Amino acid sequence: MDETGQQLLEIVNTYFSRFGIHFTSKYTPRHHVTHDSLYTFHSNKCGIYLAILPGEYIYIDNLEKCGQYSGSQVLERIKSFGKFIGVKYIKLFDAAGIQSNTCNFIAFSVFSLYTKGKTWYQIHGFNYESDPNGEIDYYSGSKNIPFRYFLSKHDLDNFKILFSDIYTDDKTIEQVVKELQKKYLHKNFETRLSKDQCKILSNITMNLYEIVLPDESMIYVIPYRTSKSKSKSKSKSKSKSKSKSKSKSRTRRSKSVKKMIK
């Protein structure tokens, strides 16, 4: 790692020290994020992987809770760190889910989508690259469709047997998902599900993800505040001057951080 990378590592470790998160050497991102000036760091303790392109973006390659801090708290810290160092946005690929020695990978996105109307990352301000302003409703168009339409015959037959207390032919995907979450998906649920139940839930959540949600990266645009005129009676020229001042302030902040890592 060059001198710039070493200095950036010091900054990120100082910023996350309150969370007990310590980043170390670089790694190779699993997804398609490459750039000559990309600096990558990871924390083995919490399984958090970040790739940083100074002045442009932070890419979150993996995110987990850390000690007493939830995944939401860690994510908010990363967002505030991005603002601190002056990047334009934060980028990630939504692979939220759980996998253990006893359970296949179960995607969380569809559970959040059908119980809250948004995926977990959408709730935290991220939108898909093809929908940067969050205008597309991925929820309403499918919430009234019968659950059986989303499954293959094989998965449906197995689901009827393994979750007989939930399934009926007339239930929608929203109803089934809410009941699954209520009856089965509690804390450490993967240890209480049978191997066959884990397998069918893995198939269902991955299929629903592929059918309903885009298979692409998500973006969180850093919200730098624009100036507000203190009085409506002030001239437009003064308003523009204030706006430029705010813009210069952000530029100075970004430059000051860049100087720290030069």
User: In a structure prediction context, what are the per-residue pLDDT tens digits for the chain, which is 262 residues long?
Assistant: 778 888 899 999 999 999 999 998 766 666 556 666 789 999 988 889 999 999 999 999 999 999 999 999 999 999 999 999 999 999 999 988 888 887 888 888 988 999 899 999 999 999 999 999 999 999 987 888 899 988 889 999 999 999 999 999 999 999 999 999 888 887 777 778 899 999 999 998 888 888 889 989 999 999 988 765 544 444 454 555 555 554 554 555 455 454 444 4
50, β-bridge pairs? 41, 60
| Residue 68: inside a domain | yes
Q: Which domain holds residue 207?
A: 97-116+138-213
Angle subtended at Cα 251 by Cα 246 and Cα 253, rounded to the nearest 5 degrees:
95
Identify whether 261 is part of a domain: no
204 and 174 housed in the same domain: yes
Residue 127 within a domain: no
CA nearest neighbour of 19 among 98, 59, 78 = 78
Which of 93, 128, 153 is the last residue in one of the domains?
A: 93
Positive or negative, the CA dihedral 193, 109, 211, 169 is positive
- Return the amino acid letter for 175: Q
- Same domain, yes or no: 65 and 101: no
Asked, for residue 178, whether it belongs to a domain, the answer is yes
CB 96 within 8 A of CB 107: yes
Domain count, the chain: 2
Q: Quick one: which of 230, 231, 227, 228 has its CA closest to 249?
A: 227
- The whole model's pTM is what? 0.80
Question: Is 150 inside any structural domain?
Answer: yes
Are 74 and 146 part of one and the same domain?
A: no
Half-sphere exposure for 255 (CA within 13 Å, toward CB): 6
Whether residue 168 contacts residue 156, with contact meaning beta carbons closer than 8 Å, is answered with no
